[in-house]
Amino acid sequence: MIRVHLDFESRSTVDIWKSGAWVYSTHPTTQILCLCYAIGERPVQLITKDELELGIIPDDFLECIRDKTIIFVAHNAFFERVMWKNIMAPRHGLAEVSLDRWRCTAAKACTCGLPKALDKVALALELSHKKDAEGKRIMLKMCKPRKAKKNEDPDIIYWHESEEDFEKLHKYCKQDVEVERAVDHKLPELTAVEQQIWILDQVINVRGVQIDRNAVENILNLIHEYEKELTLEVNKLTNGYIDKVSKRQRVVNWLEAQNVQVPNLQKQTVEDLLNAGLPKKVHRVLEIKQQLGKTSTAKYQAMMDAIDEGSRLRDTLVYHSASTGRWGGKLVQLHNLPKGIPGLNTDTACEILQEGDMIYAKSMYDNIMGTISSCIRGMIIPKQGYELLVADYASIEARVVVWLAGEQKAIKLFQDATKDIYVEMAKLIFNNPKLTKKDKTERNLGKQAVLGCGYGMGADKFKDTCATFGIIVSKELAKKAVDTYRQNYQAVKRFWYAQENDAIKAVRDGSCNQWKNTGEFLTCDLLSGRKLYYHRPRLDMVLTPWGEEKQAVTHMTIDAKTKQYVRTSTYGGKIVENITQATARDIMAWAMCRCETYGYKPILTVHDEIIAEMPIDTGSIEFFIKILTAPISWAKGCPIAAEGWKGQRYKKT
DNA sequence: CGTTCTCGCGCG
DNA sequence: AAAGCGCGCGAGAACG
């Protein structure tokens, strides 16, 4: 099958990082500056801006468009696709290229556990084709308007467009196509199923979610008003020293001057200080810091920046963003919306806040910022005449890990609707067979153990994790909980060691059970037919956290903290976590494809949750859940369960 | 002045 | 025996 690799350079008054590729591609100021393409192994060809505008398109390229068997490949193909749909076709008169003809090299890179950016992939794969650094600088200059000079009309848009800059831009674009083609050759194709999931990802990203623009605008006014009010107060309280509570250094220094030493200004630290009976003035400053510290309110602005004219927010999902295959979020990160204040009715709160009336809002709620933050989810609504259907899988990873490990006792408990696995765990931890669901404290700890201990967590970490959920446990109790999990679910424990040993053997011998070493990648076959990839595997001696030298699998990965592509080591618990998360993702991704088929059109996914939009009363939650939990050929006996609801505003139940 | 790093926050 | 893991974004600080 012939592949044509292509890349656009473009310019616009729209900031693509804030508004996303869809809004960018539909904006009237957006123009294509050049297009480079390479048919098969032939040399890269250039179509300049002038040629494109005059309709001078080479015949071989026109033939590529016409011939429906020819595949179009781009890096981050979503951009090329929407530029084609919204500019190439309507403005330059070229025929459309259907979605099934597109492939994405960024998707391939992510699938293989490589960085997503083209220059970083090239570096990771040690390709001889490198991104052109000077060209990139020129591109960044040319892609946005320049400021008007003194004697120029400031109301007109000006661009950097010297002839030599254009030449460098052309060279840069050509080079990108070369790099992209080299990356494409070096990496395996997505599996047929994954290609379908990628296509669904593209559909969902174009479909987008409806945003309640009026409410967002009015709540933004409330935020600004409240920020102004509290900032003024903190200014007064500190004699002008703290002009903004977001300036951490200033706040720490001021507190120090009031004889209050703080290690940091994290949420918990501030909360503890507020309970420490500090002088009124200090207390109030911290209170204001807490109110204004909610970065989540920035999401309202992000929404305004990214929605299109019809108030639709698109292009927020990142395919295979996590190495396990999970989606990531962008623009308005919809994957970390605050759950909100427990017990608050956000449907009602949204209706009240959307009035944009501060006096009314204050009369109804004490914690204004907390309420505003709780209402962000509610800004996602269905379009006119439609309703949202929302369903999520119940504790999916805890279920998948016991199923993968073959831990029959736990599988049966998860399957048995009359039993509660958290209570059963609590009974063992507390040596008290009489515990029931009513023993909330005990059950809660059992729940934490069931949900948290599947990947080898130790007692110290377990104690900390419980604390983040507001559950305070002693070191002894934490150890008891962890030990009980391992004792009771020994198959899970064995699973950690089995996977670690298999991975090590595969690196050494080339293969072992589902693990294979191709030299470039260590892979692990998932039951779904997909693979997990670990780049440049090696066996190295590493130092364990408890100070022992040990042989371990190491591989290249993007460090979560530093964002650098570095060698890291892995071990049984972590590998099991990867396999489990990936399997849970596949269960959901397959369900999303079924949802699409049955008309339950997904508009968003949040790891274990699917949000669909349908004309009112054309779908039922019961059927939606059936779609989510339908038997899967490769997941027989996996005890999955889901629950859901429908409504006119998104929320956390 | 723009870019990159770090801290802090939020989610599953 | 022993090790939870996976993300992205805003704002300020640091760097060039």
User: Which positions ≥6 away from A216 have C-beta within 8 Å?
Assistant: A300, A303, A304, A379
CB of A294 within 7 Å of some strand B atom: yes
Q: Which residue is nearest to nucleotide C11 (CA to C1')?
A: A246
Share of chain A above pLDDT 70, in %: 100
Share of chain A above pLDDT 90, in %: 81
Q: How far is Cα A529 from Cα A532, in angstroms, rounded to an integer?
A: 10
| Torsion angle defined by CA atoms of residues A229, A233, A236 and A238, in that order, rounded to the nearest 10 degrees | -130
User: Which positions ≥6 away from A133 have C-beta within 8 Å?
Assistant: none
- The H or E element spanning position A338 is none
CA→C1' distance for A606 and B11 (Å): 9
Q: What is the pLDDT of residues A496-552, one digit of tens each?
A: 999 999 999 999 999 999 999 999 999 999 999 999 999 999 999 999 988 899 999
* Chain C bases closer than 7 angstroms to a protein Cβ: 1-13
CB of A248 within 7 Å of some strand B atom: yes
Q: How far is Cα A435 from Cα A53, in angstroms, rounded to an integer?
A: 75
Using alpha carbons only, what angle is made at residue A245 by residues A244 and A249, rounded to the nearest 5 degrees? Answer: 95
- Please give the average per-residue pLDDT across A161-172, as a whole number: 94
* Chain B bases closer than 7 angstroms to a protein Cβ: 3, 5-12
CA→C1' distance for A581 and C6 (Å): 8
CB of A247 within 7 Å of some strand B atom: no
The residue extents of the domains of chain A are: 3-189, 213-310+338-375, 386-395+583-647, 408-488
Q: Which residue is nearest to nucleotide C9 (CA to C1')?
A: A333
Q: Which nt sits closest to A316, CA to C1'? A: C8
CA→C1' distance for A569 and B8 (Å): 27
CB of A457 within 7 Å of some strand B atom: no
CA→C1' distance for A332 and C10 (Å): 11
Q: Which nt sits closest to A333, CA to C1'? A: C8
Q: What is the DSSP letter of A454?
A: G
CA→C1' distance for A451 and C5 (Å): 12
CA→C1' distance for A543 and C3 (Å): 11
Q: Which nt sits closest to A340, CA to C1'? A: B10
Q: How far is Cα A147 from Cα A49, in angstroms, rounded to an integer?
A: 22
CA→C1' distance for A45 and C6 (Å): 41
Predicted local confidence at residue A295, as pLDDT: 64
Predicted local confidence at residue A246, as pLDDT: 86
Residue A476: left if φ>0, alpha if ψ -120 to 50, beta else—which one? alpha
Predicted local confidence at residue A296, as pLDDT: 64
Residue owning tokens 């076959």 = A525
Structure-block tokens of residue A317: 């999902």
A463, A473 contact by CB (below 8 A): yes
CA→C1' distance for A265 and B7 (Å): 9
Q: Which nt sits closest to A324, CA to C1'? A: C6
Q: Which residue is nearest to nucleotide B9 (CA to C1')?
A: A295
Q: What is the pLDDT of residues A414-472, one digit of tens each?
A: 999 899 999 999 999 999 999 999 999 999 999 999 999 999 999 999 998 898 888 88
Residue owning tokens 């330059």 = A92
CA→C1' distance for A272 and B2 (Å): 38
A210, A311 contact by CB (below 8 A): yes
Q: Which residue is nearest to nucleotide C2 (CA to C1')?
A: A546
Q: What is the pLDDT of residues A188-247, one digit of tens each?
A: 999 999 999 999 999 999 999 999 999 999 999 999 999 899 989 999 999 989 888 888
Q: What is the DSSP letter of A431?
A: T
A549-566 burial: b if 16+ Cβ within 10 Å, else e: eeebbbbbbbeeeeeebe
Q: How far is Cα A338 from Cα A328, in angstroms, rounded to an integer?
A: 16
CA→C1' distance for A564 and C15 (Å): 18
CA→C1' distance for A456 and C3 (Å): 7
Q: Which nt sits closest to A396, CA to C1'? A: B12
CB of A338 within 7 Å of some strand B atom: yes
Q: How far is Cα A215 from Cα A526, in angstroms, rounded to an integer?
A: 44
Alpha-carbon A123 to chain mean position: 24
Q: How far apart are the first and last CA of chain A?
A: 48
Q: How far is Cα A449 from Cα A432, in angstroms, rounded to an integer?
A: 16
> If pLDDT is split at 50, 70 and 90, which confidence band does A594 have?
very high
Structure-block tokens of residue A334: 């919809």
Angle between helices A133-142 and A163-186 (to 10 degrees): 120
Q: What is the pLDDT of residues A289-323, one digit of tens each?
A: 888 877 667 899 999 999 999 999 999 999 999 99
Q: What is the pTM of this model?
A: 0.96
Q: What is the DSSP letter of A101?
A: G
- Please give the average per-residue pLDDT across A586-602, as a whole number: 97
For domain A386-395+583-647, which architecture applies?
Answer: 2-Layer Sandwich (3.30)
Q: What's phi and psi for A595, nearest 5 deg? A: -55, -45
- Please give the average per-residue pLDDT across A272-298, as a whole number: 86
CB of A607 within 7 Å of some strand B atom: yes
Using alpha carbons only, what angle is made at residue A99 by residues A93 and A104, rounded to the nearest 5 degrees? Answer: 105
CA→C1' distance for A559 and C13 (Å): 22
Q: What is the pLDDT of residues A129-145, one digit of tens each?
A: 776 778 888 999 999 99
In the CATH hierarchy, which top-level class contains the domain A3-189?
A: alpha beta
